[in-house]
Amino acid sequence: MTIIHNLGFPRMGKQRELKRALESYWAGKASQEELLETGKQLRARHWDIQARAGLDLIPVGDFAWYDQILEWSTLLGVVPARFGQADDAPVSLDTLFRMARGRAPSGTPAAACEMTKWFDTNYHYIVPELAPGQTFRIARDFLFEQVEEAQALGHAVKPVIPGPLTWLWLGKGDAYEGLSDERKLELLQALLPVYEQVLARFQAQGVQWVQIDEPILVLDLPQAWQDAFRRVYQNLNQSGLRVLLATYFDDLRENVALLKDLPVAGVHVDGVRAPAALQAVQAVLGADQVLSAGVISGRNIWRTDLDKAVELLKPLQAVLGERLWIAPSCSLLHVPVDLDGETGLDAELKSWLSFAVQKLDELKLLEGLLNGSLDAQGEQDVRAQRAALQSRRSSSRTRNPAVQARMEKIAQVQRERAPFAQRIQAQREKLNLPAYPTTTIGSFPQTTEIRTARRDWRNGSLSDAAYEKAMQAEIEQVIRFQERIGLDVLVHGEAERNDMVEYFGELLGGFAFTQNGWVQSYGSRCVKPPIIFGDVVRPAPMSVAWSAYAQSLTELPVKGMLTGPVTMLQWSFVRDDQPRADTCRQLALALRDEVSDLEKAGIHVIQIDEPAFREGLPLRKGDWQQYLDWAVDCFRLSTSAVADDTQIHTHMCYSEFNDIMESIAAMDADVITIETSRSNMLLLEAFENFEYPNDIGPGVYDIHSPNVPETGWMVRLMGEAAKRLPAERLWVNPDCGLKTRGWPETEASLLAMVQAARTLRASA
């Protein structure tokens, strides 16, 4: 017998039912009872799927109305004062929603809590907000109700909760400096008793195993945090419940030592990201501790190589026997629900894939294979699985000879451009721009007409010619608008793009798209990442016609707009049969050709967006440089084929640059536009201290808000920027694309921005 279990199941539903229910409730179109009912049905369905798959233990607590960390913060009664929570009352669902979104059907609106990325995934959690002297209490019963619900349905339940150290690590507050601030550990004294109460309640409910997630064990931990593990788990061990301590997303490395003699009943390890960690952890486990081996990827969508997994598990099983459990590497939150609904993928490609539902079947097969207990059906399924893997390995669809030939010589491809001083001189002569040149980040408002035209064209009800005409009309309108208000470097507006990665992915070879491959990004928002299954090729130019058309309408320079190689990689499910860096270089080569074609078509300013550049950073600082080296190399591969007088821009919409400044400079874009408006240009300090050598457009207003910025305010902000950087290297632009904005505020904001640039020029 080998226990098989799961760490978490996607909660959104196969048809994104939870999304719809949430949004109807928020919009006042559905009652709270209806929302609660949808949640209950989804949980029942998801538990049922897992039970039918043959799992021995089923997770409860992976469901969340918005985010699992927010569920936990509210259970602990951690509600910032501005939400008016009474100390002794339960935290209501609407208070939870107000914390997440600032508003809810009932209760006074207040500033929403911060949201940020969950480790190195594209999932975002709500940051726990810690007050000085924060107190804790069990303030919601929802989790216990779910346990009861699952038990009533006859399931063997394993509650899943965030560990106290991980939860504290993720927390922020005015009294604390940053993630690693040791003073947060002082809160343990008040926090641990509440954990004990929670465990006691589980125990009273007849629970045997509880999974406590401590993914911070894969991070660089300061000594005080390392030391805290023993203290915390000694405490939690008092409950009598069996604790499975779960880590995932990377190797534990030196933190393996913290597990030695740690009083927990078992440890879960991510054996997909870090196969060697399984051995390392097994070596420190005591004689009755369980090792849960996560050997089915919870992060990617490729079918598992079961034979390879068995090979990895066999030596562990030899030592551990029934103390070896198997599971997905992490919660399946990060993969789509069910491959079954995909009718648009061809049979071969589909046979290579595995979504959450299929992963559970793989788990069951793996158990059978490991223990030699497969039935006839199982034998057949394993054979099919092997055949699928073989087909993927040998398929000509994953390898393109032309790409392979080019990759072999990639070391010789030119990545150097002339020195910036020489380039900028040539660009100034060619473009003839005023001081403080103005531009935008690319997209203009995506109106209903634009979306309708795209949809009709996709479903065939609008002809190619009619669609082209509709898009050209949009481009013309955007060009005339920009001319009218006096912008200096224009854009075509990106009306043809539904999404900045999907648009290019659909025009490249090696990409596939799903119909329902949704993954939760945050709250009710889901994304449908493309799948990169094969060598990336560009059969034809992708953006040239639109940009050239825009340029044909005006004497002013039009900026071509592309999505960078790192961002394309980062926001896709990436093939696992070659290093990510190689896939990224293939993307870079495709973009390099696109850049050259844009240049040939008379586009002399080209922007390559890299909003996901920073997201790719590995979890451990020691691994950063290796990533940065290839990421920078890919950007340079994309951009370096142009003449000196072609100006390369890049855009990154985040604000922490301090720790990667050297790499940002090494990208060697002629102009970088960044987000700075929300912090009054303080963020430019990184660029100042580093003496960033090229041009910069610090975003002068926040496009995430519908508010129209005042000219005087933007002039002051640019004045701040000019104190830090030479004025002749400054650009004036919003802090991101305008696609989510409406036209009225866009027009007013850009007018005010152009006015600000004129004021700056006049006073220069």
Q: How far is the CB of 406 from ligand GLN (least distance, A)?
A: 27
CB contact at 8 A, 67 and 126:
yes
Q: Indicate the residue among 358 and 677 with the shorter CB distance to Zn ion.
A: 677
Q: Is 736 in the site for Zn ion (CB under 5 A)?
A: yes
Output 611 or 616, the one with its CB closest to ligand GLN. 611
Considering the rule CB under 6 A, would residue 326 count as an interface residue with ligand GLN?
Answer: no
Site pattern 258..297 for Zn ion (x: CB under 5 A) = ----------------------------------------
Cβ neighbours of 762 (radius 10 Å): 8
3-state SS string over 111-130?
A: CCCCEEECCCCCCEEECCEC
Closest separation between CB of residue 699 and Zn ion, Å?
Answer: 8
Pairing of strands 509-512, 531-537: antiparallel
**In this chain, which of 128, 215, 294, 611 binds ligand GLN, going by CB under 6 A?**
611
- Residue whose tokens read 């301590």: 245
Query: Of the ranges 79-87, 290-298, 678-686, 735-743, which one interacts with ligand GLN (CB under 6 A)?
Result: 735-743
The residue count of the chain comes to: 764
92 or 567: whose CB is closer to ligand GLN?
A: 567
- Selected range binding ligand GLN among 274-282, 313-321, 457-465, 734-742, rule: CB under 6 A: 734-742
> In what helix (H) or strand (E) does residue 673 lie, and over which residues does it extend?
strand 671-674
Tell me, what DSSP letter sits at residue 601?
Answer: T
Q: What is the enclosing helix (H) or strand (E) of 714? A: helix 711-724
**Which DSSP symbol is given to 77?**
T
Question: Is residue 738 a contact residue for Zn ion (CB under 5 A)?
Answer: no
Closest to Zn ion by CB, 424 or 717: 717
> For Zn ion, which residue has the nearest CB?
653
Using CB under 5 A as the binding rule, whether residue 501 contacts Zn ion is answered as: no
Coil vs helix vs strand at 291? strand
Task: For the segment 639-658, give every residue that binds ligand GLN (CB under 6 A).
Answer: 651, 653
Among ligand GLN, Zn ion, none, the one that 316 touches (CB under a kind-dependent 5 to 8 A) is none
Measured from the CB of residue 675, what is the shortest distance to ligand GLN in angstroms?
Answer: 9
By C-beta, is 166 or 567 nearer to ligand GLN? 567
End-to-end CA distance of the chain: 78
Considering only residues 519-578, where is the footprint of Zn ion by CB under 5 A? Answer: none
Which three-class secondary structure string do you get for 240-269?
CCEEEEECCCCCCHHHHHHHCCCCCCEEEE
Calpha distance 111→262 (Å, rounded): 41
- Which stretch in 143-151, 182-190, 369-377, 736-744 sits in contact with ligand GLN by CB under 6 A? 736-744
Q: What whole-number distance in Å separates Cα of residue 758 and Cα of residue 51?
A: 67
CB of 481 to ligand GLN, least distance (A): 15
Question: Which two tokens mark 249?
Answer: 């997303």
Pick the catalytic residue: 5, 155, 651, 704?
704
Among 303, 492, 580, 739, the residue binding ligand GLN under the rule CB under 6 A is 739
- Closer to ligand GLN by CB, 575 or 651: give it: 651
Nearer to ligand GLN, 213 or 488 (CB): 488
Binding mask 408-447 for ligand GLN (x = CB under 6 A): ---------------------------------xxx----
One character per residue 632-671, x = contact with Zn ion (rule: CB under 5 A): ---------------------x------------------
Nearer to ligand GLN, 478 or 760 (CB): 478
232 binds, among Zn ion, ligand GLN, none (CB under 5 to 8 A by kind): none
> Of 80 and 734, which has the nearer Cβ to ligand GLN?
734
Size of the site for ligand GLN (CB under 6 A): 13
Tell me the backbone φ, ψ of residue 119, rounded to 5 degrees.
Answer: 50, -130
Angle at the Cα of 728 from the Cα atoms of 726 and 729, rounded to 5 degrees: 70
Min CB(402)–Zn ion separation in Å: 33
Candidates 284, 217, 290; CA nearest to 249 is 217
β-pair partners for 525: 522
Cβ atoms of residues 762 and 729 within 8 Å? no
Task: Find the shortest distance in angstroms from Cβ 571 to Zn ion.
Answer: 13
Q: Which does 442 bind (CB under 5 to 8 A by kind): Zn ion, ligand GLN, none?
A: ligand GLN
| Candidate ranges 195-203, 395-403, 468-476, 733-741; the one touching ligand GLN (CB under 6 A) | 733-741
Residues 6+ apart with CB under 8 A from 726: none
Sort strands 519-522 and 525-527 into parallel, antiparallel or unpaired: antiparallel
Which residue's entry shows tokens 């098989």? 4
Query: What stretches of 285-439 show up as alpha helix (H) in DSSP?
Result: 306-320, 347-351, 356-371, 376-394, 401-408, 420-431
| Token couple for 699 | 């975003």
Least distance to ligand GLN, CB of residue 500, Å: 6
Shortest distance, CB of residue 673 to ligand GLN, whole angstroms? Answer: 9
Neighbour count for residue 660 (Cβ, 10 Å): 21
**Least distance in Å: CB of 441 to ligand GLN?**
4
Q: Which helix (H) or strand (E) holds 581?
A: helix 580-600
SS3 state at 12: coil
- At residue 234, the 3 state secondary structure works out as helix
Shortest distance, CB of residue 701 to Zn ion, whole angstroms? 13
The question of whether 704 is a catalytic residue gets the answer: yes
Q: Does 496 bind ligand GLN (CB under 6 A)?
A: no
DSSP state letters, 514-563: -SS--EEEETTEEE---EEEEEEE-SS-SSHHHHHHHHHT-SS-EEEEEE
Residue from 424, 669, 736, 757 in contact with ligand GLN (CB under 6 A): 736
CA distance 80 to 78: 7
Output the smallest distance, CB 610 to Zn ion, in A.
10
Question: CA-to-CA distance for 216 and 232, rounded, in angstroms?
Answer: 14
User: Does 753 interact with ligand GLN (rule: CB under 6 A)?
Assistant: no
Locus of tokens 């092997």: 386
470 binds, among Zn ion, ligand GLN, none (CB under 5 to 8 A by kind): none
Look up tokens 């991510």; give the residue. Answer: 270
Determine contact, residues 760/731, Cβ cutoff 8 Å. Answer: no
Q: Which is nearer to Zn ion, 295 or 653 (CB)?
A: 653
Q: Which is nearer to ligand GLN, 258 or 450 (CB)?
A: 450
Look at residues 688, 646, 693 and name the one whose alpha carbon lies nearest to residue 668. Answer: 693
Partner whose binding site includes residue 505, from Zn ion, ligand GLN, none (CB under 5 to 8 Å by kind): none
Binding site for Zn ion (CB under 5 A): 653, 736
Binding site for ligand GLN (CB under 6 A): 441-443, 494, 500, 561, 609, 611, 651, 653, 736-737, 739
Active site residue ranges: 704
